[in-house]
């Protein structure tokens, strides 16, 4: 039990020593300048933050570099001249993509509700220094060996299609070496195509394939669905990947070289590039119907009106849904032929596309808001949608049934004469005529001066009186706050009661994490007591301790029983914060009651002195 008490006291002392220092967050790099093709380490170091208090690390923008590893986390703690310090370091292993000067932006981390940020760093990337001929020859041989056993292949399921027909494009990585990582260095240019990413599994599964008598491990890097938007000979340009390959070092007779050599080999960056592909795209046949707008595939259409009857100036919604397989994303809204006394707005478009299979499928909906302006029975002409059916090799037109709508007369804002007005002019009724107001009007006497009226005088004096009152009130508040000791003394009991209310709320409510819940409760109780003592006894937070509080209470002739109760309460809270499992709900209730009684007794005693 004594060993455990010593350990808890030591831990409490360490926590106080760490929290007494200001936390810092700094960024550094291990080399500058760095050669193109070499790696460097970016370190983000957080010092004196306390154990477990840091969260929400936001690294800087590293898009100009290849991330070869990280973030790796390490921590340390040390004593220097009796002062304890701690640090946590987050490190990234990076490699530049190109030459030049680059700025590594700020990183941020949250510690105890406060956000700390690093300063920007400037890094210069220079050309690699010339190497010895023998070493260059060795590197060339190594690159050649990797090139014979690692390549990227692009393939399509068809090379001759009709305009708008789907093509499935796949990029596969073939390897006979150990590839530890890869990243896209350059995406293929897809001029003349509309592309849709096909969903790939998060974890790349490797399969075995034999090419030219060699067995390779093959992984699918990317899959895409392409829809040619123009005819002719189109090209899919290469995609480039930068891979990280692990190679074994050759043996050396130098004992120092063998001492420092990695027994598991070293990593090397290698660029792989696919070959371009040619696609022959035939134009769509002639004779397309007027309602054809480029849809290719196989589709169905459904039209619905949200109601069969309405009133004038009341909107109705016509929804047209097109579903099927094909270039869903490129579908355009069908034309809706309305009676002349209808007002139509731009349709609201929504879509749901399935990219998981070999064929892109889904649906696209168009919601038209229609407003009838004139009563009577209305007939909306059939909606037409045309597409080129790939299986039938011809154009297909889908046509809805005519839509009937009964429009009743709504509320009439005004009754202008309609003589000689055609149906084309109906939508302008009640908009271009404004009627003369015939109600009684109050007129003012000409020549009367506003500044001579009592109202004007009151309007002038009222702001001046308000400004004077505000100045007096501000000076009174400033005088009160100038007396800092008295101000803290008067607010001490209110601040303590507020803290105890928070502790009481924690006591009444449960939590899924009981240990964290208890820790928060005891922290709130201790904080309320410490805050009361600091404000009531005029002790600064930096000088606050149990002994300092007891000395001040003794100077003010507070009896020893209250001092002993205070020491016992604070020690119980500290023990509970570092060993919460030993305190149950009944103990929590007792701690809360003791704290409440102690603060009330202290307030009564100190006021009587």
pLDDT confidence band for 216 (50 / 70 / 90): confident
Contact by Cβ (8 Å): 198, 355: yes
The yes-or-no verdict on residue 433 having pLDDT over 60 is no
The yes-or-no verdict on residue 2 having pLDDT over 50 is no
Query: Longest Cα pair distance anywhere in the chain, in angstroms?
Result: 115
Mean per-residue pLDDT for 123-139? 63
Strand bridging mode 160-162 / 277-282? parallel
Q: In this predicted structure, what is the pLDDT of residue 249?
A: 56
Dihedral (CA of 324, 327, 329, 330) sign: negative
User: Which tokens go with 111?
Assistant: 């510690």
Note the pLDDT tens digit of each residue in 578-603.
554 445 677 788 888 888 888 888 88
pLDDT above 90 coverage of the chain, percent: 23
> What is the SS3 assignment for 455?
helix
Q: In this predicted structure, what is the pLDDT of residue 401?
A: 92
The yes-or-no verdict on residue 496 having pLDDT over 60 is yes
Q: In this predicted structure, what is the pLDDT of residue 484?
A: 56
Which of the given ranges, 276-280, 468-472, 489-493, has the highest pLDDT on average?
276-280
Domains contained in the chain, CATH given: 14-126 (2.60.40.740), 133-282 (2.60.40.10), 297-408 (2.60.40.740), 484-608 (1.20.120)
Mean per-residue pLDDT for 73-79? 67
The pLDDT mean for the chain works out to 78
The yes-or-no verdict on residue 213 having pLDDT over 70 is no
Cα distances from 214 to residues 210, 386, 424, in angstroms, run 5, 50, 77
Q: How far is CA 342 from the centre of its chain?
A: 44
What span, in angstroms and rounded, lies between the C-alpha atoms of 559 and 567? 13
| Poorest-pLDDT segment among 287-301, 374-388, 409-423, 554-568 | 409-423
Note the pLDDT tens digit of each residue in 224-277.
999 999 999 999 999 998 888 887 655 443 443 433 344 456 778 888 999 999
What span, in angstroms and rounded, lies between the C-alpha atoms of 323 and 280? 28
The yes-or-no verdict on residue 150 having pLDDT over 80 is yes
Interhelix angle 546-555/560-578, nearest 10 degrees: 170
Q: Give the sheet arrangement for strand 40-47, strand by strand.
A: 24-29, 40-47, 83-96, 65-80
Note the pLDDT tens digit of each residue in 283-332.
999 999 999 999 999 999 999 999 999 999 899 999 999 999 998 888 99
Task: Say how many C-beta atoms besides its own lie within 10 A of residue 370's C-beta.
Answer: 21
pTM above 0.75, yes or no: no
pLDDT confidence band for 203 (50 / 70 / 90): low
Mean per-residue pLDDT for 105-128? 85
């Amino acid at each position: 039990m004594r060993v455990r008490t010593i350990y808890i006291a030591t831990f409490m002392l360490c926590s106080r020593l760490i929290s007494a220092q200001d936390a810092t967050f700094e960024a550094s790099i291990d080399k500058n300048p760095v050669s193109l093709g070499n790696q460097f380490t970016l370190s983000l170091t957080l010092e004196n933050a306390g154990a477990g208090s840091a969260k929400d690390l936001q690294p800087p923008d590293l898009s100009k570099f290849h991330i070869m590893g990280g973030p790796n986390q390490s921590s340390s703690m040390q004593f220097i001249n009796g002062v304890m310090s701690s640090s946590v370091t987050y490190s990234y292993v990076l490699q530049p993509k190109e030459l030049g000067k680059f700025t590594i932006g700020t990183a941020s981390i949250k510690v105890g509700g406060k956000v700390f940020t690093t300063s920007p760093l400037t890094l210069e990337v220079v050309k690699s220094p010339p190497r010895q001929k023998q070493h260059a020859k060795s590197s060339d041989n190594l690159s050649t060996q990797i090139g014979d056993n690692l390549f990227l292949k692009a393939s399509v399921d068809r090379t001759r299609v009709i305009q708008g027909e789907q093509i499935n494009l796949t990029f596969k990585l073939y390897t006979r070496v150990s590839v530890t990582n890869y990243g896209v260095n350059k995406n293929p240019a897809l001029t003349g195509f509309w592309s849709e990413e096909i969903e790939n599994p998060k974890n790349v599964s490797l399969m075995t394939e034999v090419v030219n008598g060699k067995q390779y491990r093959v992984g699918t890097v990317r899959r895409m669905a392409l829809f040619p938007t123009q005819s002719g000979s189109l090209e899919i340009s290469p995609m480039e990947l930068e891979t990280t390959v692990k190679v074994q070092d050759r043996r050396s007779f130098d004992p120092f070289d063998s001492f420092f050599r990695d027994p598991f080999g070293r990593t090397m960056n290698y660029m792989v590039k696919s070959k371009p592909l040619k696609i022959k795209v035939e134009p769509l046949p002639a004779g397309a119907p007027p309602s054809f707008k480029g849809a290719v595939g196989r589709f169905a259409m459904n039209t619905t009106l949200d109601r069969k009857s309405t009133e004038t100036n009341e909107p109705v919604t016509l929804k047209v849904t097109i579903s099927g397989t094909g270039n869903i994303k490129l579908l355009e809204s069908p034309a809706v032929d309305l009676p002349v006394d209808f007002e139509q707005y731009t349709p609201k478009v929504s879509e749901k596309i399935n990219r998981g299979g070999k064929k892109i499928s889904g649906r696209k909906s168009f919601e038209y808001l229609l407003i009838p302006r004139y009563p009577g029975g209305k007939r909306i002409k059939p909606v037409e949608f045309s597409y080129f059916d790939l299986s039938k090799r011809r154009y297909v037109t889908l046509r809805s049934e005519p839509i009937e709508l009964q429009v009743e007369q709504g509320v009439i804002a005004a009754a202008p004469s309609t003589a000689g007005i055609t149906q084309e002019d109906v939508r302008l009724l009640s908009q271009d005529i404004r009627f003369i107001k015939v109600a009684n009007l109050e007129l003012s006497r000409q020549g009367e001066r506003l500044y001579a009226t009592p109202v004007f005088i009151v309007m002038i004096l009222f702001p001046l009186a308000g400004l004077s009152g505000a100045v007096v009130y501000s000076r009174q508040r400033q005088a009160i706050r100038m007396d800092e000791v008295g101000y803290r003394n008067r607010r001490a009991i209110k601040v303590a009661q507020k803290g105890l209310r928070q502790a009481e709320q924690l006591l009444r409510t449960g939590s899924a994490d009981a240990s964290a819940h208890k820790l928060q409760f005891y922290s709130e109780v201790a904080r309320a007591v410490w805050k009361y003592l600091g404000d009531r006894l005029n002790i600064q937070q930096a000088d606050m301790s149990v002994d300092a509080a007891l000395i001040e209470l003794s100077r003010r002739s507070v009896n020893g029983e209250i001092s002993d109760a205070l020491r016992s309460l604070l020690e119980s809270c500290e023990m509970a914060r570092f060993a919460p499992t030993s305190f149950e709900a009944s103990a929590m209730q007792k701690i809360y009651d003791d704290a409440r009684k102690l603060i009330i007794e202290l307030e009564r005693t100190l006021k009587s002195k």
